[in-house]
Amino acid sequence: VLTGTVKSLSRGPPQEPGWAVLSVLGAFKAAAALGLPQPAKGSSLRLQLPCRLCPSLKKGSSYVLMGRLGADGAALLPPDAFVVPYRPQQQQVLGNLSKRPCRGSP
């Protein structure tokens, strides 16, 4: 789970995936669970967009995103990814969720 503002979008040709570059506002839970370094606030993150039309992102807008890692280790935002507009009030809720231990089995 991460929050970020879309800096640029590249949809590319129909047969190739597109890309979104985000300015990271915050990263929660998954980064540590996956053994990934915690991205610094304000750093850029490039997300692969396999579908040209979805999820619908707008340059300059901020979102809460839940994607996954592709087979090559790249950040992937598939069409069924959780993407909602970000509101600053969500920061505290996301921070609290990231502190909870996982109760599922790996």
Q: CA-to-CA distance for 13 and 101, rounded, in angstroms?
A: 42
pLDDT, tens only, 30-70: 555 544 566 667 788 888 898 877 888 999 999 999 888 77
- pLDDT average, residue stretch 1-15: 86
Under CATH, which number does the domain 2-99 receive? 2.40.50.120
Which residue(s) pair with 5 in the sheet?
23, 62
At 31 the pLDDT is: 55
Query: Does the pTM exceed 0.85?
Result: no
N-terminal to C-terminal alpha carbon distance within the chain: 17
pLDDT, tens only, 77-86: 988 899 999 9
H helix runs in 1-106, sequence order: 30-33, 90-99
